[in-house]
Amino acid sequence: MKLTYAKYNLVIELSESKPSVLIIENPQNMAEFMQELYNQYCGLIEKFVLSEEDKILKLNKIADMVIEPYSLDLNRKNIINGLYSYMNDIANDCIEESEVLNTNIQLVIDKITDNVPYNNITHQFDFNWTDMFKLYGVKIDSDYQTIIEKLVEYIKICSFICKYKLIIFVNLKTYLSDEEIEELYKISNYCKISLLLIESREKDWNGDEMEYIIDKDQCLIVK
């Protein structure tokens, strides 16, 4: 995949095996870049082109963006919808179990209504796994001790549940050590998902990264 931004003649190569890091040294340039990227992520004006093999991709369809990791919600609507859809596909093979469960639920409802001192009660129960998941509060366990544990789980969710191809992090290296960054790189490689880190300052260059720098003079440097 490639992310292209015409203003700086910037073409970022996005690979599952080698994360990309974009450093924007000037705060005003950083703010403008992030505002335009976020607007496009929200479905507004498009200043970037995300493509794969000459096919244009919708940023908010195949990518997620993390501005700040601590408030990351692993049970937001699109993740839960993706989880239920994934589980529904598995549940489709549980035909016998579905029939037994449906029968037992209706028997219990009949038993309850039979004991109500009013005989004009009816019910209709169309068995639906998604409704069952909601009823029993099926969700992602988000009780993590450290931010790196949460981010590792988040990458797995993005890959296996949401089927995203790209995650964009902003100033992630501010929050994580070099060892933790390496751990994220390994799990993203395992999950076959591309990472783009957008940073406001340069740290020690990691040979496992593709690094792009827009310096204070708005010159593009590629390492």
Query: So what's the pLDDT on residue 209?
Result: 92
Mean pLDDT in the chain? 92
| pLDDT tier for residue 11 given thresholds of 50, 70 and 90 | very high
> Domain map of the chain by residue range?
2-74+165-222, 79-136
Average pLDDT over residues 135-150: 93
Query: So what's the pLDDT on residue 128?
Result: 87
Query: So what's the pLDDT on residue 95?
Result: 87
Task: For residue 211, list its beta bridge partners.
Answer: 21
Average pLDDT over residues 205-216: 87
| pLDDT tier for residue 79 given thresholds of 50, 70 and 90 | very high
Query: So what's the pLDDT on residue 205?
Result: 64
pLDDT tens readout for residues 22-49: 999 999 999 999 999 999 999 888 899 9
Average pLDDT over residues 194-206: 89
166: nearest Cα among 146, 191, 186, 141: 191
CATH code for residues 2-74+165-222 = 3.40.50.11940
**Runs of H (alpha helix) within the chain:** 27-41, 59-62, 77-91, 95-114, 129-135, 147-156, 178-191
Q: How far is CA 151 from the centre of its chain?
A: 10
Query: So what's the pLDDT on residue 190?
Result: 96
